Amino acid sequence: MKTTLLYINFLMTAKSDKAKETVSKQIEKVLKNEIEKIPFLKDINIGRSNEAKYKITFNYEEWYTVFYEISKFSESFGKAWIRTGNIEIELRLSSIKPSLNGVAAIDITISK
């Protein structure tokens, strides 16, 4: 069993603190709901460093399964994802077509 970190950064369009908090609550609701659907994740820990940056720690067994499931998971937050990075050791996804109101762009990074 290996442990890794998944980083998700949401670029918000909301300006006021109240609007940012509303968007943050929406993000967290979708995030928690969707992360629970990933079958292999065990010992999940979701941390928030500010209103739009999340760090998720979890255990996994096979990298190819992580790669597939996180790619599928990303579809819950937006479309037209651009993938970069070396698929043998990392997955980097970026989208400027988020499905969440108040969000302009999303970046997801996970390393082996």
Q: What is the pLDDT of residue 60?
A: 85
Give the predicted TM-score (pTM) of the model.
0.88
In the prediction, which pLDDT does 5 show? 87
Domain regions of the chain by residue span: 2-111
The pLDDT value recorded for residue 94 is 97
Confidence of residue 47 (pLDDT cuts 50, 70, 90): confident
106 vs 52, which has greater pLDDT? 106
Please give the structure tokens belonging to residue 12.
């918000």
| Band of residue 42 on the pLDDT scale cut at 50, 70, 90 | low
If one compares 44 and 56, the residue with the highest pLDDT of the two is 56
Classified by CATH at the fold level, domain 2-111 comes out as: Alpha-Beta Plaits (3.30.70)
Distances (CA, A) of 53 to 6, 31, 56, 65, 107: 11, 12, 10, 24, 10
Confidence of residue 8 (pLDDT cuts 50, 70, 90): very high
CA distance 73 to 87: 17
